[in-house]
Chains A and B, each alone.
Chain A
Amino acid sequence: MLSSLLSIFIVSALFNNVIMAQFLGTCPFLGVSKSIETASGMGFAVIFVMVLANIITYFVQLLLIWAKVEYLQTLAFILVIAGLVQMVEIMLKKLSPGLYKSLGIYLPLITTNCAVLGIALLAIKKNYGLLESVVYSFATAFGFLVAIVLFAGIREQMKYSTIPRAMEGFPIALITTGIMALAFMGFAGFKLPF
C-alpha cells in the first residue's frame, strides 16, 4: 500500500512531470516564472488548489455516477474548480496581500490552468481511490512547483546574458523548457527499487 503510494508520488512528481512530460499547466509556467518568489507562490497555490480540487471532484464523480449523468463530468468539474479558485483568491487577498499582488492576474487563471482540471480527470480515469488521488494530485503539483522554481532560477540568471533579439521572451523560454524536459527524461531510465 505504502510502496504503491510512494511509487505514485515519485512517478507523477518526477518521471511524468506535469510540465516536462504531460504539457499540462504550461501557461502559468511560462507566465509567472520571471522570479523565484512569484514562481514558488504560484507553485504553492497550485499545490493547494490541486489537492483540494481532487478531493472535491472525487466526491462529485461519485455523485454524478449515483445520478447517472457521467457525461456532465467536464462541466461539473470545471465549475467546482472555478468556485474553489475564487475561494482561494478571496482567502489569499485577506491573508497575504503581498503575495496576492505579485500573483496578480495569474490567480484567476488557475481556473484555466489545464493541470488542475486535467489531473482531476486523469485521477478518475486511472480509477484512483481517495487516498491515491490525494497523493497523485499532491505529487503532480509538487512536480509543478519543482519545475517552475527551477525554471524561474534559470530565467533570473538569463537576465544577465545577451540573447539574440529574435529569441527574447517566449522563444528562449520555450527552448530552455525543452532542454529542461530533456533533462527530466533522464528520470525515465531509473528503476524504482520497490
Chain B
Amino acid sequence: MSINFKNELYRGIVTENPIFRIVLGMCPTLATSTSAMNALGMGVSVIAVLTCSNMVISMLRNVIPDKVRIPAFIVVIATFVTVVDLLIAAFIPPLYEALGIFIPLIVVNCIILGRAEAYAAKNPVVPSIVDGIVMGIGFTLSLTMLGAMREFLSAGMIFGYAVAPFKHQFILMILAPGAFITLGLVLAGINFIQNKES
C-alpha cells in the first residue's frame, strides 16, 4: 500500500488540524505560545514524541490487551517524553527554562493520547508514523503561528527580530488574557471563513 504524503500533510495541517479544528491540547497551546521560538521548541518536541509513540503503539497494537490499553499507551508516551525532557535539559537549557513544567506535561497532551487511540491503535506502523509526523507538523505550524502573533502584538518582534516599524510594549498579550483572547479570535476567524465557504 502506498501513502500519499501530500494528502496526509493536508489532512494534518488543514482538515484535521489538532489545534484549530479538533481543538485539542489547549494547555500547552496557551502556555507555550508566548513567543515564536518557544512555540517552535514545543512543537518540535511534540513531533518527536508523537511520531515515536505512534510508531511503538502501532507495533504493539496486537499485543496490548484492550482493557489496559490506555495505561499501556501512557507508559509508552511517558517514556518518550522523559527522553525528550532530558535531551532538552542537556542541550537547550534556555528552552528548558522557558517551557518549564510544560515539557513533562506533554505526557498528558490530549493530542498524543488522542492520536494513539484514534489512529495508531488501529493502523499499521508506516501510516501511523506518517500520521504522527503530519499531525505534529499541523500542531507545530499552528502553535508557531500563534506564538508569532502574540510576540508581534506584545513587542513587535517575531523570532526575536524587530519587524514592527515602531517600538511598543503590550505585555498583556504575553500574559494569560492575551493567550485566551488571541486563540479565541483566531478560531472565530477560521469559523468565519469556513461559514462563508459553505
Contact = CB atoms under 8 A, between A and B. Distances in A.
A175 B185 contact: yes
A75 B75 contact: yes
Interface size class of A (residues with CB under 8 A): 35 or more
A27 B189 contact: no
A167 B70 CA distance: 34
Interface in B164-179: 172, 175-179
A112 interface: yes
Interface stretch (A39-47, A133-141, A177-185): A177-185
A165 interface: yes
Interface string B96-139: 00000100110111100100000000000000000000000000
A116 B183 CA distance: 24
B184 A174 contact: yes
A185 B183 contact: no
A185 B177 contact: yes
A82 B71 CA distance: 7
Contacts of B30: 23, 26
Interface stretch (B8-16, B80-88, B151-159): B80-88
B23 interface: yes
B85 A170 contact: no
Interface in A59-80: 71-75, 78-79
B176 A23 contact: yes
A121 B181 CA distance: 28
A23 B177 contact: no
B5 interface: no
A170 B23 contact: yes
B82 A74 contact: yes
Contacts of B172: 182
Contacts of B179: 23, 178
Interface string A1-27: 000000000000000000011111111
Given A82-B74, A122-B101, A117 B107 contact: yes
B192 interface: yes
Given A23-B30, A177-B180, A79 B108 contact: no
Contacts of B27: 23-27, 114
B188 interface: yes
A165 B107 contact: no
A112 B187 contact: no
B108 to A, nearest CB: 4
A174 B108 contact: no
Nearest to B82: A74
A78 B112 CA distance: 14
Interface centre among B30, B104, B107, B177 (most CB of A within 10 A): B177
B145 interface: no
Contacts of A125: 101
A181 B81 CA distance: 30
A172 interface: yes
13 contacts: A21-B176, A23-B30, A26-B27, A74-B82, A74-B85, A78-B74, A111-B108, A112-B113, A113-B108, A165-B195, A170-B184, A170-B187, A175-B184
Given A114-B109, A166-B188, A178-B181, 4 more contacts: A27-B110, A78-B107, A114-B108, A179-B181
Interface of B: 23-28, 30-31, 70-71, 74-75, 78-79, 81-82, 85-86, 101, 104-105, 107-110, 113, 172, 175-181, 183-185, 187-189, 191-192, 195
